[in-house]
Amino acid sequence: MRISIIGTGYVGLTTGAALASLGHQVRGFDINQGLIEALVESRLPFYEPGLTELVAAQGAAGRLSFSNEIVQAGAEAELVFICVGTPPATVEGMPDVSQVEKSLEMIATALTPRTVVVLKSTVPIGTGDKAALILSRKSGGLLPPGNVAVNPEFLREGTALEDFFHPDRVVLGVRGDLSRNRLLELYGWAKAPLVLTDRRTAEAIKYIANAFLATKISFANEVARVCASLEVSAVDVLQAIGLDRRIGPDFLEPGVGFGGSCLPKDLAALIFTARSVGLEPVLLEAVEAINRTQPEWVVEQMERALFRIPDDARETVGSARVAVWGLSFKPGTDDTRSSPALELVDSLVMRGHEVITYDPLARLPETAEAEGRERLCPRAGDPYAAVRGADALILATAWPEFKRIDWRRVRRLMSGVSPVVVDGRNALEPALLLSFGFVYVGVGRVGRAEWGRTGEGDGNVPCHRRGRFHRLTPGREAGGLGPQSGGSG
């Protein structure tokens, strides 16, 4: 098929390159002239594993090309995918669909009655119906309303190509035979359920899928907070409940919270949508509130361990030099949009701590005007430089390189007798850190099952490492913690 992609950002480029590799003739369009010039030379403005190579290969094979002549996009294609951004427009969460509207207006003058326009951008419920009206009006009635479809994307940054080629499901919001048949033909290769539905339902599925993932994460983080005060390993609890097929193990990992350009934005948009129809979405609001406060809660756990503040005391004392490892919202990307690591840095600075950061790829925003004064703190060139003289270290993003760290060297570089390491992603080996004299603080990892007597017997092996034998160790029995370890989350 001849396919046009409007918007060559992360979603558009992944979709375009992947469809080209399936043998389609794809052209990517964007109003950003500089971006198009870079893409023609296979230079991508962001990092996504495997994508640069795929774009280059498909370009060389003559199946993928780029242009900024958006008005031509509809004239030359059987399918036009709209993949432009829909950023949050208001603090209440209403998404800004102006880029979608502008794209529709640009393509409307050069369509054929057989063009099918597909919304892939994440859009508020009802946008597909409005798009059909806009295109019909602007094309002088040429395009039938049924030629507009909604096909939401479920791509994760860092595994976008893998997700495209191995979807859990493909959602097709269609009206009429032409868009239905064309999309069924396009996705005929997918070994996954094809969910055929109407446009509004397809739009809702996208928001509600991300809101549910967000709910699981906030649930895990609230469980971590509750369990911390009870000396129960939340991680073991969550792994155990995840063995129930009705619950499932994914997205139940407690940490510093969820971020990125999707989960926070889509959750906010769903809350906005619910309020706009007169509802008070209390569950979704709680999910958002837990996530908003999670970075600060992690900072509090650090302070409790560092200044030996008892669990029942509220006040904080002193300030410290704190190294933060990881700025991106998750490993494998340089994306810091809504990253909880940045909230954590802000929280540390606001509470009077001196902060130095390190991330293998991501950078803090360059200007105070752009992103807020608090985040402008020094960035080290490597993880060891960041911890020099630090009283505490917080791991905020689980980059693989943090698992290969020379802890003896870190221990020598950090200050104090028992420097604190806060493992904000539960990515480190507690026993190893304790053996070097660190105070280890995980999230929901009171984890005596994790770090007591490692390598011995079977009673202390965490449940997920025990193959089919999921025997859990009662958290309070294993013991073996250092003198300050009780402050761990």
SS (H, E, C) the chain: CEEEEECCCHHHHHHHHHHHHCCCEEEEECCCHHHHHHHHCCCCCCCCCCHHHHHHHHHHCCCEEEECCHHHCCCCCCEEEECCCCCECCCCCCECCHHHHHHHHHHHCCCCCCCEEEECCCCCCCHHHHHHHHHHHHCCCCCCHHHEEECCCCCCCCCHHHHHHCCCCEEEECCCHHHHHHHHHHCCCCCCCEEEECHHHHHHHHHHHHHHHHHHHHHHHHHHHHHHHHCCCHHHHHHHHHCCCCCCCCCCCCCCCCCCCCHHHHHHHHHHHHHHCCCCCHHHHHHHHHHHHHHHHHHHHHHHHHHCCCCCCCCCCCCCEEEEECCCCCCCCCCCCCCHHHHHHHHHHHCCCEEEEECCCCCCCCCHHHHCHHHCCCECCCHHHHHCCCCEEEECCCCHHHHHCCHHHHHHHCCCCCCEEEECCCCCCHHHHHHCCCEEECCCCCCHHHHCCCCCCCCCCCHHHCCCCCCCCCCCCCCCCCCCHHHCC
Using CB under 6 A, which of 47, 154, 187, 307 touches ligand UGA?
A: 154
For the CB of residue 216, give the shortest distance to ligand UGA in the complex, in Å.
7
In this structure, the number of other CB atoms found within 10 A of the CB of residue 448 comes to 25
For the CB of residue 450, give the shortest distance to ligand UGA in the complex, in Å.
17
Taking CB under 6 A as the criterion, which residues in 87-126 touch ligand UGA?
Answer: 122
**Are the C-beta atoms of residues 287 and 221 closer than 8 Å to each other?**
no
For the CB of residue 484, give the shortest distance to ligand UGA in the complex, in Å.
26
**Are the C-beta atoms of residues 316 and 309 closer than 8 Å to each other?**
yes
Using CB under 6 A, which of 30, 153, 203, 222 touches ligand UGA?
A: 153
Q: Which of 290, 313, 299 is nearest to 347 (CA)?
A: 299
Residue 255 makes contact with ligand UGA by CB under 6 A = yes
Using CB under 6 A, which of 258, 272, 325, 358 touches ligand UGA?
A: 258
Taking CB under 6 A as the criterion, which residues in 176-235 touch ligand UGA?
Answer: 210, 213, 217
Which residue shows structure tokens 């967000």?
A: 214
Return the number of the residue (122 or 485) whose C-beta is nearest ligand UGA. 122
Residue 260 makes contact with ligand UGA by CB under 6 A = yes
- Please choose, out of 26-34, 249-257, 450-458, 474-482, the segment that lies near ligand UGA by the rule CB under 6 A: 249-257
The Cα-based distances of 225 to 178, 293, 341, 445 in angstroms read: 52, 11, 18, 10
How far is CA 342 from its chain centroid?
14
Residue 259 makes contact with ligand UGA by CB under 6 A = yes
Return the number of the residue (124 or 144) whose C-beta is nearest ligand UGA. 124
**Total binding residues toward ligand UGA, as defined by CB under 6 A:** 20
Residue 359 makes contact with ligand UGA by CB under 6 A = no
For the CB of residue 255, give the shortest distance to ligand UGA in the complex, in Å.
4
Identify whether 83 is a catalytic site residue. no
Residue 402 makes contact with ligand UGA by CB under 6 A = no
For the CB of residue 305, give the shortest distance to ligand UGA in the complex, in Å.
21
Residue 252 makes contact with ligand UGA by CB under 6 A = yes
For the CB of residue 111, give the shortest distance to ligand UGA in the complex, in Å.
27
Using CB under 6 A, which of 6, 263, 449, 463 touches ligand UGA?
A: 263
Return the number of the residue (134 or 155) whose C-beta is nearest ligand UGA. 155
Using CB under 6 A, which of 32, 40, 142, 251 touches ligand UGA?
A: 251
Site string for ligand UGA, 275-314 (x = CB under 6 A): ----------------------------------------
Taking CB under 6 A as the criterion, which residues in 8-47 touch ligand UGA?
Answer: none
Site string for ligand UGA, 318-347 (x = CB under 6 A): -----------xx-----------------
- Please choose, out of 53-61, 87-95, 149-157, 312-320, the segment that lies near ligand UGA by the rule CB under 6 A: 149-157
Using CB under 6 A, which of 253, 288, 359, 391 touches ligand UGA?
A: 253
For the CB of residue 52, give the shortest distance to ligand UGA in the complex, in Å.
18
How far is CA 346 from its chain centroid?
19
For the CB of residue 451, give the shortest distance to ligand UGA in the complex, in Å.
21
Return the number of the residue (253 or 450) whose C-beta is nearest ligand UGA. 253
For the CB of residue 330, give the shortest distance to ligand UGA in the complex, in Å.
4
Return the number of the residue (259 or 489) whose C-beta is nearest ligand UGA. 259
Active-site amino acid positions: 262
- Contact residues toward ligand UGA (CB under 6 A) are 122, 153-157, 210, 213, 217, 251-253, 255, 258-260, 262-263, 329-330
